[in-house]
Amino acid sequence: MNGVGEREASDSAAESISSELLINVIRTLTTTVSNDQRQLEKQRIEQCYRQSEQNIDKLLKEHRSDALHCLSTFQSVSKELTSSREQIRNIKSSLSLCKTFLQCRRDDLNKFWLENAQQKKVCDILQQIQQIKKIEKTVDVQLANGEYKEMIRVLKDADVLLKGPFDKMEGISQLKFVVSENLQKVFGQIVNDLLQCVFVEPFEAQTLEAVKSGKMVESKIGAALIERYPKKKLVALNDEGALRLRLAELLQSLLVFGQVDKALDEMFDRMPNLFLRLSNGAAEVVKQSAGGERSAGERDASHLAKFVNIAIAQMSFASRNFALLSLELQQLSHQFLPNCQPIMKRFWHIVQVGFEEILAEYLLVWRNKKDGNDGAGGGGVQKKALFSFENASFVSSVNASSRKKQFCVVCTPDIYNVVAIFHKLSALCREVESQLGEDCCYLSVYLQTFVAEAFLEQIRVDLERQTESVLNGADLWSSMSDVPPHTQRILSCCVRVFELCERINGYIVSMEPYALRFASFWLLILEHFIKGFSDKYFQIVMLRQVHADGGWADYPKLSAAWVVDEDISRLLMSLPSWSAVKKSPFSPDQIQTPFAADVVNLANILGESEQEIRERTQRESEILIGNLGTQKQPKSSELITSMDHIKALACLHESLQWFVGKMRALVDGLSSRAKELTKTRIQITTSGNGGTLIDQMLCEAIAERINTLEKLSDNLLLILHLELRFHCFFHLITITQNQSALSLLSQDEIDRDVMEFGRDLSQFHATLHAHLSPTKLKYLFDGLGYLCSSIFIHSCQYLTKLSEMGRKRICRAIFSVQKYLSQLSGRPETELQRAQIFFDFLNKDLDQLFATIVERGAVFSFVEYSILLSLLIRSHSTLNSQPGVLEAATNQLRDILSHQQKGKPNQKPISMVGTEAANFSLITHVIFDLDGVLIDTERHYTTANERAMEKFGSKFTRELKLMMMGRKKSEAVPLLLKDAGLAGRVTSEQYMEEYDQHLKQIMSTLTEELPGATKLIDHFYAQNIPLAICTGSDSEEFGDKMRKFDKWLQKIPIRVLCGSDPEVRNGKPHPDAYEVTMGRFVSKPVSPKNVLVFEDSINGVESALGAGCSVVMVPQREFLPKDWPEKELRSRANFAALLDSLEHFCPKPFGLPDFRLREGGGCRG
C-alpha cells in the first residue's frame, strides 16, 4: 500500500508539473510576438509529448493486473445492484399496501379522539367553575396572610375566564357577583393597607411617643397603642426600604385591575375624617397627661403647644411616607399611569384644611365669626363664615359642626392661643412650602389672615381697654407694689402698664414677623401712659385762681413754672449736683440716712466733705438767691404744701424711672431682625397740633416717647428739689426780711417760725425717705446749709436797720436751723456758720471789719460784703446820717479785695460754675469774636483747608488748625505753607485762591448761628450796651458769612475785620485787634477791664488778655489741643469764665443786667 501511495503521489506531482508546463507554453505562445520564440516553444512541447507517451506506455505495462482486477470487480458489483433494485420494487409494493391500511386505521382513531376531547373540555370547565366557587375562601385566607400577588393572580384568572370564554355562558351570574364582590373586598383592603402604611401608622406612632414621654403607658390609650405597636414594628416603621417594597406590592396589585387612581381617590376621600380622629386621639393623650383638668393662662397654652408639636410630628412623619408613595407612583406613571396627580400636593392640602379646622376650634374663629355677624340677617339664616370650611374637599356627609362638638380640646379656646403655637405653625408652613415648591401654602395664608384680621385687632382693642382701666383707676395711682430687685416700691399703675408692654414683647419674641405691628402697640400704650401721667401731674402742680370777673384759670405752681421753662431746667440740669445724682459715685449702702451714722465719721464713710458738697451746690444756690433772694416772700399758694402731693411726686418719679429703664431694656433686648423691622417708616398721628400726620421710623417714635417719660421723671425730681428749696425761702425770709416783725415779734414767735421750718423739712424728709432712693434723698438735701446761710445773708439787704436784740434773735434762729438740718442730713452743716459770722460782723465798726478782712482774708463775696456794709451803716446811730459814708466804705472794700486778689495769683479764677464774678470791674462794653462764637464756621474753615491742602498733595492736620485760629489770613497762610512743607512749591496767592474757592461754596449754604448768640446780642442791645465784632476775616469773607445775619449787623455797628483793616498791623494773638476795636467805640470804656470779650480760640484769648480786656472763653473743644493750657489761662488776670456755650452765660456777676425770668428778674444762663 505504501508503494501505491508513493506512485500516486509521484503521478500527481508529474501531472502538476505537466500542467504547469502546459500553462507556461500557452502563456508564451499567446504573449510572444517573436516567431523564433514560438518555434522554440513548439519544439519543447513536442519533446514533452513524446516523453509523456513513453511514460504512459510504461505505466500501462506496470498496472495491467490492477486494471484487470478492477474490471472484474465492476462486473460483480453491477450484478448485485440489479438484484437489489428488484428487491426494492417488492418492498415499495408492500409499503403501499401498508399505507392504505394505516389510513383506514387513522380515520377510525381520529373519530374516537374527537369524541374524547369534547368530554375532557367539559370536565375542565366544570373544574374551573368549581374553583371560582371556592375563590371567596381562598381570598379570605390570602388576605389574612397578606399574599396580595397570589390573591390578585387568582382573581385575575377568574376575571379573565368570566369576561372571556365564559362571557356568553348562561347560568353563571352568581359566579360573576362573587368575583366582583371579592374584587371590591380586596380593593378595600388594599386601600386600608395604603392608609395604614402612609397615614395611620405614622400618626399613631407619634402619639405613642407622646404617651411614653407623658408617662401614660398604663392608660387605656397607652395600653392599646403599645399592644398594637410592639418594639419590632416601631423599628420597622422607620425602614424605608421595607416600606417601599410594601407600597410597590400594593400598587402592583392595584395596577393589575387598573384601580390605582380609584384607590388613591378613595384613600384621600377617607383621610379628612381619619385625620380628625387621629388628631383627637393625640388631644386625648395630651389632656390625660395634664391630669385631665384644664388650667389657665400659660399652662393652657403649653398644653396646646404640646398638642401642636405632636400634630406637626405626625404630619411630618406621614409626609415622608407619602413622598415614598409618590416615588413609587412616579415609576409606575412612566409605564402605566401617565395622568397620575401629584400625591404630595393632595396630601398637604387635606391635612392643612383639617388642621385649619382644629386650629379654628382653639383660636375661637367660629365664635368670632358668630359675634361679628350678630347684627346682620334674620333669625334662622346661616351667617357667612370668616374662615369657611364648608367647601373644603374633605367634607363628608357628617356635618362639620357635629365633628367640632365631638372634638377633644386640650385647653380653653382663646384667640391668644396663637402666640404659643405661632413659631411651630410657621415652621410647618415653611416645611410645606419647601416640599411643594410654593411661595405661600394654604395654612400660611390662613395663619396670616387670622393674625392680620382677627388677632392684631383683638390685641389692639384689649390693650386700649386694659390701658384705660389701669390709668383711670384711682387706686392704681396710690397703691404701691414691690418689684424685686428694685429697692423702692413702684406705683401699681406703672407696674400694670409695664406688664402690658412686657406682654407685647412676648408677642414680638413669639411672632417675630409681626414685630412692626406689635411694636406699634408699644407706641399706643406709651401715648396713653404719657397722657394719663400728664393729667395726674397737672392735678398736683397746677394752681386754680379765680378772677375778679368770676372766671378762673390754672397756673403752674412756682417749682413747676421753673421746670417748664426750658432755659431754667437746662441750666439746673447742667450743674454738678444734677450730674452727681444721675451718675452717683456712691452705692445705696454707702449713703447714710440721718440718725444712722456718727457725724464725726460721716465724711470718711461718704468720701465727700462739706466743702466738696458746697463746691458742688454753690452755683445752684447763687442762681436761686439771684432769683428769689431779692423778691418778696413766696406765697403759700405758690408752693406744694400737701405731703400727699409730695409723696405722689416722689412715687411718680421713682416709678417712671423704673418704667423707663425697663422699657429701654425691652427695646434693646429685641432681636436684630425685630430691630430692623421697627426701622420702618410709618404714619403717626401726633397728640398736638390737631393730630397732624407725620412720617417717622417706629423705633424713633418709641425712643422719643421713652425719652419724654424720662424727661418727665427728671422734671419730677427737679420739682421736688426746687420745692424743698422754695420752702426754705418761704420760712426763712419771714425771719429776716420783715423788720417790723423783728422789732415787734417776741422771741417765742420767731422760734415758732423756726420750728415750723423744722417741722416742714422733717415732713419732707420723712415722706421722701420712704419713697426715694438714698442717692436722690442725698441730692435733695445736699447744699441746704449753704442755701439757708445765703438766704439769711441776702435777705438782710432790705432791712432798714438791725438792732442788737434783732441780731441775737436771727443768730438764735440760725442756730436752730443748723440743728434741724444737722438732724436731717447727719452732717454738722457748718455752712450756716457763715451766716453766724456775717451777723457777728455787725458788732464791729468799719475799721475793725476792714482790719479783719485784711488780717484773715475775704470770707464773703464782694456782693455779700456790700450788703453787710450797707446794713452796718444803716443800723449805726451816727453813720446812717452821714452822706457818702457807704460809697467811701464800698470803695475801700473794693480796694482791699482787689489788693488781696492781686496778691494771690494762683487763686482759682472766676468761672460760671462755682465761683464769684463780683470782684471784676463793672462791664460796660462787649466785643464778640465771630467764628466759633456767634456762627459755626470753624468746621467749614477746616473743610476748605483740607480740600485746598489735598489739591497741593498735603494734609491739613489738627496742629495746623490750632496754629491758624484767630490769625489774619495774610499771616496764617505763609506759616501754614511753611509748616506743611509747601513753602517752595506753592505761593500764598495760589493757596488763598484755592482756599477761597472752596470756602465760598461752603459758606453760602452751610453757615449756622451757635446756640445763645441771638439771645445774648438781643439782651445787650436792649440794655444799650455798646457792641462790636472783632474777627480775623477780611471784608469779602465777612460779607459771605453774614448774609443770613443782617439782623445782627443792625445791632452791632462796630466791626473790625483784621484781614483787611489797615489799622490792625498784627493779627491775633497780638493785642492790636482788640486795641483798635476798643478805640472805635463812640463812648470809650474807662478801662480795658470794663470790656468783656467772648473768644473761642487760644490765640484770640491771648490777644484779648494782652489788650487788658476781661475774657469769657467759649471754645469748641474738638478744636482744642489735648495739652491746651487750661490751668495757665485760668490763672491769668482778667480771665473771667470758661463756658461750653453762650447759653450758659450769666450777666449778673459781671455787673450786667440780668435776663428776665419773671417779675423781679433773674439769671437763666
Q: Could you give the 3-state DSSP secondary structure of residue 1027?
A: strand
Mean pLDDT of 191-217: 78
Going by C-alpha positions, the residue among 842, 780, 779, 783 that lies closest to residue 810 is: 842
| pLDDT tens digits along 832-888 | 888 888 888 888 888 888 888 888 788 888 888 888 888 888 888 888 778 888 888
Q: What are phi and psi of 915, to 5 degrees?
A: -135, 170
From the list 714, 782, 929, 1061, the catalytic residue is 929
Phi, psi of 371 (to 5 degrees): -65, -35
Q: What is the mean pLDDT of residues 895-918?
A: 52
For 1094-1127, how does the pLDDT look when each residue is reduced to its tens digit (9 = 90+)? 998 888 998 999 999 999 999 877 767 666 777 7
Q: Which residue has the cell 415758732?
A: 752
CA angle (144, 150, 154) in 5-degree steps: 105
pLDDT at 1077: 92
Q: Is 929 a catalytic residue?
A: yes
Closest CA to 828 of 859, 793, 864, 784: 784
Question: For cell 482790719, what's the residue?
Answer: 851
Residue 497: pLDDT over 60: yes
Give dist(CA 350, CA 355) in Å, integer. Answer: 8
Q: Would the CATH topology of 921-937+1007-1165 be identical to that of 938-1006?
A: no
Q: 3-class SS at 1095?
A: strand
**Cβ proximity of 1032 and 969 under 8 Å:** yes
- What burial class does residue 18 get, using C-beta atoms within 10 Å of its C-beta: 0-12 exposed, 13-18 middle, 19+ buried? middle
Residue ranges per domain, the chain?
2-45, 180-372+385-453, 454-548+656-709, 563-641+716-844, 845-908+915-919, 921-937+1007-1165, 938-1006
Between 1.10.760.10, 1.10.1040.10, 3.40.50.1000, 3.40.50.720, what CATH number should domain 921-937+1007-1165 receive?
3.40.50.1000
43 pLDDT above the threshold of 90? no
Amino acid symbol at 45: I
What is the assigned CATH class of domain 938-1006?
A: mainly alpha
Among candidates 835, 807, 808, which has minimal Cα distance to 821? Answer: 835
Residue % of the chain over a pLDDT of 70: 76
pLDDT-derived band at 978 (thresholds 50, 70, 90) equals: confident
Residue tagged active-site, from 193, 300, 782, 931: 931
φ/ψ (deg, to 5) at 56: -65, -45
Reported as a pLDDT band with limits 50, 70 and 90, residue 288 is confident
Classify each residue of 426-442 as buried b or exposed e, where b means 16 or more C-beta atoms within 10 Å of its C-beta: bebbebbbebbeeeebb
In the predicted model, what is the mean pLDDT of the chain? 77
Identify residue 399 by its one-letter amino acid code: N
SS (H, E, C) 381-398: CCCCCCCCCCCCCCCCCC
Is residue 426's pLDDT more than 50?
Answer: yes
What is the radius of gyration, based on Cα positions, of the chain? 59
| pLDDT confidence of residue 1104 | 92
Q: Cell triple for residue 393?
A: 374637599
Among residues of the chain, what percentage have pLDDT more than 90?
Answer: 7
Instruction: Enumerate residues 6+ apart whose C-beta is below 8 A from 1157.
Output: 565, 568, 627, 1163, 1164
Residue 1006 has pLDDT above 90, yes or no: no
**Burial class (CB within 10 angstroms; exposed 0-12, middle 13-18, buried 19+) of 1132:** middle
- Rounded Cα–Cα distance for residues 1053 and 493 (Å): 60
Q: What is the largest CA-CA distance in the chain?
A: 210
Average pLDDT score over residue span 119-137:
62
Cell match 414594628: residue? Answer: 233
Neighbours of 939 (CB within 10 A): 14
Banded model confidence at residue 182, pLDDT cuts 50, 70, 90: low
Q: Is 878 left (phi over 0), alpha (psi -120 to 50) or beta?
A: alpha
Q: Active-site residue 1154, yes or no?
A: no
Of 245-254, 596-605, 832-841, 863-872, minimum mean pLDDT range: 596-605
